[in-house]
Every structure is written in C-alpha cells, then in structure tokens.
C-alpha cells in the first residue's frame, strides 16, 4: 500500500503539482481516489496525509542512517523506493545553514532597527 502511495505522490512531484514543496489538495484527493479504487477501501485525504507523515519520518531516519553512518552496513536490506522518496522529501530537510544564536538574532534585529531609524531621520 505504501509503495503505491509513494508512486502516486512521486508522479505528482515530477509534474510539479506541489505548492511550496507541499502537496495541493487536488494531489491528496487524486491519491485518495486512486488508493480507494485500487484497494477497494474508503481512504480519505486525512488518511493519506497521516500516512505520508509516517513515511516521511521513516525516510528521514533512513536518509540520516545512509548518509551519516557506514552505508555498507545497510546493503543487506534495500530501502524500497528510496530514490522516489528522496525526490519527494529531499529538499524538506533542515540543514541548519540559516540557523543563528539568540545573540546573532539580537544583533541582526538591532542593525535593522538602526537602519530604519537612520532612514526615517534622513527622510525628515
């Protein structure tokens, strides 16, 4: 069931039916319809969203293990649909590149306030 869901969402990812790296309501509705038709059960958009959250958590764990640990340890058991999952979730991972300490944030805020004050004084 999960593999079929990943296939459907991967197709939506390829054809850019996403808005800001998240799926549109139409994408969830299409996935719900396709899953219900294939498996003969009533699968709602909420079921799809909840299952996607679980799949994302598993993918993030697997992604961290593959990249940070010794990949040779995981050669015995392949991760199904890893490439498709990476296409779906890969850019949603936090890297910390834009993280800042409270001290840096305060300094940035003070500079912006000073700049605004300076602009107001110069335009007066």
The predicted-structure confidence for 4-59, as pLDDT tens digits, reads as follows: 888 888 887 777 655 566 778 888 888 889 888 988 888 888 888 888 888 888 88
Domain holding 62, by residue range, is 2-96
Residue 113 in this model has a pLDDT that exceeds 80: no
Specify if 105 maps to a domain: no
The predicted-structure confidence for 68-95, as pLDDT tens digits, reads as follows: 666 566 555 666 777 777 777 766 666 5
Specify if 115 maps to a domain: no
Specify if 34 maps to a domain: yes
Q: Which of 10, 78, 5 is nearest to 37 (CA)?
A: 5
Separation between Cα atoms, residue 12 and residue 57, nearest integer Å: 20
pTM of full prediction above 0.75? no
């Amino acid at each position: 069931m999960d593999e079929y869901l990943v296939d459907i969402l991967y197709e939506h990812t390829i054809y850019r039916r996403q808005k800001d790296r998240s799926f549109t309501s139409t994408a969830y509705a299409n996935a719900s319809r396709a899953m219900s038709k294939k498996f003969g059960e009533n699968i709602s958009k909420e079921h799809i969203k909840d299952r996607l959250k679980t799949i994302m958590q598993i993918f993030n764990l697997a992604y961290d293990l593959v990249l940070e640990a010794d990949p040779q340890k995981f050669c015995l058991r392949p991760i199904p649909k890893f490439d498709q999952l990476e296409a779906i979730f890969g850019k949603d991972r936090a890297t910390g590149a834009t993280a800042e300490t409270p001290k840096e944030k305060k300094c940035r805020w003070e500079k912006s306030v000073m700049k605004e004050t300076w602009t107001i004084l110069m335009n007066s």
